Structure 1
Amino acid sequence: MTTAEATKTTAPEAGTEQHGLKAHSDGDWANRVPVQTRSERPTSTDVADFAEVTGREAVWKYTPVAKLGALLNGELDGSRIPVTVPAVAGATSEWIARDDARIGRAGVPEERGAAAAWSAFSEAHLVTISGEEHVTAIVRRDALDAAPRAAHTVVEATPHSRGLVILENTGSAQLSENVEIVVGDGAQLTLVSVQQWNDDAIHLSSHYATVGRDASFVHIVVSLGGGIVRLNPSIHLDHEGANGEAFGAYFADAGQHLEHQVYMDHNAPHTRSRVTYKGALQGEGAHTVWIGDVLIRQNANGTDSYEQNRNLVLTPGTRADSIPNLEIETGDIEGAGHASATGRFDDEHLFYLQSRGISEEEARKLVVRGFLLEVINQIGDDATEERLQAAIEAELAESTK
């Protein structure tokens, strides 16, 4: 459905109008019902099907859209972006044309930013994981520049394969992209997206995953760098027995905007999902946004789902928006729930550490380190985990200067 189709209206039948309901002078609002849930959002790969962003839309209202004009309304360079993928057995890397049948299987944009990137790209970068022996593939994007770019990436795990794919983003960039993930039946795939951009970088990224029968998919986001980072994963558990897990860790400094909108779609019986995002904020104007949407469809009986977001505020002048949403269309489920909390240090934790001879400054570092490393340690690649731990140490060192 396109946006244009979504706004079509029909006149009410005679005698069914609500008493006292009259059209206002600002438009025919009486016959237009706003989108209330994630599952009702219009979708399209054509940017022309979406109106220009004002910042008042539900999907954009927490984002500094005034700084995104080049990516939302400008002309994007859709040529190949520079990527480096070290050769490894069991993983292949290639470029495919935009009309290739392997594109468009995992999801479709729900907003203008993603549609603009989809409309502009000329070729997609395809990474394929195959074979039952576990394989790790690292995709490095570190040679972009400040020119507005569009990109499209497809990651596929063939049936019964096992793998880890790490997307490493560093340097300067003004990038809008779509990432599709296709997890075959019985496959086990972990995809990690690491944002360690320079302070001037702007990155809009929409991830779409479809998970096969009895397959398992783990999606991990680590956002530590970039002026504006907006990464929105949508995981669709489309086949019976599918398992989806989404983890996120983020550390926002002064003036930095880090946003993650997570969608977990249960669209088959006996599916399971877990969502855990944890963030820390320090410095004037540091802003994080987490929105978690879970949909349990009518046919998803036996679903087991839980989502949570935790934010640790280290200094005054920060803002953390945290919004969990749960939509359930069937009563035949194993369980579903959500939780959200934002606060300062736990005084009991600090007291416990200080009572054992640890200074208050070091105690605070230990608390933050343990808070975020719960997510970092899910990655499963020692070198990447060590590098990110060092990055977090550097962030904490800045906070004590």
Structure 2
Amino acid sequence: MTSAPSAAPEAAHLQHAHGPGSPVPVQTRSERFASASHADFPPVTGRELEWRLTPVARISDLLDGALNGAPFPATVSPAEGVRVEWVARDDARIGSAGLAEERAAANAWSTTEQALVITLTAEEAVTVTVDRTAPDPTPRAAHTIITAAPNARGTVILDHRGPARLTENIEIIAEQGSDLTVVSLQEWDDEAVHLSSHFGRVERDARLKHVVVSLGGAIVRVNPSVHLAGDGADGQLLGLYFADAGQHLEQRVYVHHIAPHTVSRVTYKGALNGEGARTVWVGDVLIGRDATGTDSYEQNRNLVLSDGTRADSIPNLEIETGEIAGAGHASATGRFDDEQLFYLRSRGIDEQEARRLVVLGFLLEVVQKIGDADLEARLLGLLEDELAAVEVV
């Protein structure tokens, strides 16, 4: 079995005897079964490791139902040095960064008729916004490939809105010497459901900053996997989320250090408010046997604003070589820092406003690392809107 980004679908299928349902256990995260075919994955029961924290009964149509595989509506802002095209599902570029590792992603892979391909070639930094507004809640599939050519620089913002029910795969390739930022912003309508698997591959001396911002939607599950495949590759994975009453926001992050002298930093921060607000964060980092000189750190922080919420936070670290520069992980979930509140109150700020300022400061650490001033200002406004309706206790 293999989940190697370069593996072809046929190669994965040859190992199906060791795939889902096999008595042969998966020994390490990199050995997870991968396939482009929905039929290769057994039905989801909700007891599986990758699904046990997800409300699977509410996403059955995306797991197993018929999906609209026509191109998902997308408007791409024009920019110098950016090529945009739709390609057929047999295009050789599809599958170059990874393959589906679970049933919902495979359903999308098997159904999608065309993939949206965005290629950045300019060495001067550019910003591209992809407006993806769902027209209705019809269950849909999608596939997107984002590539930064050698030495290219740029930011791609995937801006999601509307009443979607969407399962999709997004492939991200940062070729040698490139510097690519990809931001996935979930500002869906309240009833929307979004399942998204991201596959990143970072080549020699390239840098990928991957950002997930989940604010809207009923159920949002974004799973980024980043493979640091070239010597000196750098992966920065950032996440920001704010779960309201009844909202389920989930992210499962995987970083695979394959090549020597690679660097990764994972920082996800979220807040929860309201009865039934639920967040799930699972962070897996694997330092492979050839990844000498690796420097890696992952952390997840959750701020609880009310009773009736639940935050699951599970960091995992595997190391297959002793010759590393450093590796670590951290996780924390709790309420306010009383010292911060005391400091603000002592300067004449009323308690409710002081609490909101603490929450905002907590979340802005991630916002300020994005590197796009316009987007950062927009996110600040969205967070202020979220907090305006919160009675922080």
Normalising by structure 2, report the TM-score: 0.94
CA contact (8 A) 1:283 1:317 kept: yes
Cα deviation digits, residues 41-88 of structure 1 (max 9, x gap): 111110100001000000000000000110001011111111011211
Q: 1:8 to 1:275 in 2, by over 3 A?
A: closer
C-alpha distance in 2, partners of 1:334/1:265? 16
Question: How large is the Cα RMSD of the aligned pairs?
Answer: 1.5
Give SS of 2:69's match: coil
Offset, 1:385: 1.6
Write the distance in 2 (CA, Å) between the matches of 1:5 and 1:151.
Answer: 26
Match of 1:25 in 2: none
Alignment-derived partner of residue 199 in structure 2:
208
Q: Please point out which of 172, 192, 195 is paired with 2:183.
A: 192
Partner of 1:332: 323
**SS of equivalent residue, structure 2 residue 379:** helix
2:279 corresponds to 1:288? yes
Shift of 1:382: 2.3
Contact 1:312 1:342 in 2 (8 A): yes
- State the secondary structure of the residue aligned to 2:39: helix
Q: Tell me the TM-score normalized by structure 1.
A: 0.93
Larger radius of gyration: 1
Partner of 1:341: 332
User: Larger deviation: 375-384 or 172-181?
Assistant: 375-384
Structure 1 distance, partners of 2:108, 2:50, is 17
Question: Superposed, which structure 2 residues align to 1:374-385 within 5 Å?
Answer: 374-385=365-376
Alignment partner of 1:204: what SS?
Answer: strand
Structure 1 unaligned spans of 5+: 10-28
What is the Cα deviation at residue 8 of structure 1?
A: 5.0
Query: How far apart are the structure 2 equivalents of 1:162 and 1:33?
Result: 43
Amino acid at match of 2:203: G
Supply the AA of the counterpart residue of 2:390.
S
Distance (Å, rounded) in 2 between the aligned partners of 1:306 and 1:8: 31
| Aligned residue type for 1:231 | V
What is residue 321 of structure 1 aligned with on the other side? 312
Q: In the alignment, residue 54 of structure 1 is paired with which amino acid?
A: T
User: Is 1:167 matched up with 2:158?
Assistant: yes
Which ranges of structure 2 fall in alignment gaps of 5 or more residues? 2-11
Q: Percent of aligned positions with the same letter in both sequences?
A: 61
Aligned to 1:114: 105
Superposition deviation, residue 290 in structure 1: 0.3
Q: How far is 1:189 from its partner?
A: 0.3
Partner of 2:28: 37
Higher mean alpha-carbon deviation, 274-283 vs 97-106, is at: 97-106
Is 2:247 aligned against 1:256?
Answer: yes
1:180 has 2:197 as partner: no
Contact 1:3-1:42 at 8 Å conserved across structures = no
Q: Pairwise mapping of residues 258-273 of structure 1 onto structure 2 (< 5 A)? A: 258-273=249-264
Q: Distance in 2 between matches of 1:8 and 1:362?
A: 55
The 5 Å alignment of 1:21-32 reads 32=23
Residue type matched to 1:196 in 2? E
Secondary structure of the residue aligned to 1:61 is coil
Query: CA separation in 2, counterparts of 1:143 and 1:191?
Result: 20
Q: Is the 8 A contact 1:81 1:144 kept in 2?
A: no
Give the drift of 1:7: 4.5
Is the aligned partner of 1:134 residue 2:125? yes
